[in-house]
């Protein structure tokens, strides 16, 4: 199922944090002591690590946050994770859409092969993202 991601935020995003490494204890990182988890949006793209870090304990802590998770279903079956997420969150899915590289002026002087290499992620299949909003 495809849907568009259209969220309107009342406040501007003033801080963002990229964790170099996320394990099952990522929520104990000092950066989360300054912010309420309910005010955080988590973009999770960790090449299959989502199956490990999104355990019951962490999902309970994140239940009032917005999560955007890239599902790497070529590593593990996502059925159990999606089932857990659906119990806690309102979920929807988005996928990679067609790309029109001719609409990017910055790329107009590159050869077509070079353009496609620039945007190639080397994925074995079309990727799915699950959007999780608090119930």
CA contacts within 13 A on the Cβ side of 32: 16
The residues pairing with 134 across neighbouring beta strands, listed in sequence order, are 89
Q: Could you list the residue range(s) of the whole structural domain that residue 68 is in?
A: 26-134
Asked if the model's pLDDT at residue 24 lies above 60, the reply is yes
Q: For residue 87, what pLDDT band results from cuts at 50, 70 and 90? A: very high
Is 9 part of any domain? no
pTM across the whole model: 0.73
The structural domain count of the chain equals 1
Is 17 part of any domain? no
Look at the chain and count its residues.
135
């Amino acid at each position: 199922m495809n849907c568009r991601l259209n969220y309107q935020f009342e406040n501007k995003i003033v801080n963002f944090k990229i964790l170099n490494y996320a394990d099952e204890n990522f929520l104990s990182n000092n950066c989360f002591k300054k912010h309420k988890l309910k005010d955080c949006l988590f973009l999770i793209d960790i090449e299959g690590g989502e199956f490990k870090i999104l355990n019951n304990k962490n999902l309970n802590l994140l239940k009032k946050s917005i999560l955007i998770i890239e599902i790497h279903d070529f590593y593990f079956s996502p059925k159990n994770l999606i089932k857990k997420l659906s119990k806690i969150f309102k979920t929807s899915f988005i996928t990679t859409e067609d790309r029109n590289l001719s609409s990017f002026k910055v790329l107009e002087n590159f050869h077509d092969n070079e353009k496609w290499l620039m945007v190639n992620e080397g994925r074995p299949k079309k990727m799915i993202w699950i959007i999780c909003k608090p119930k």
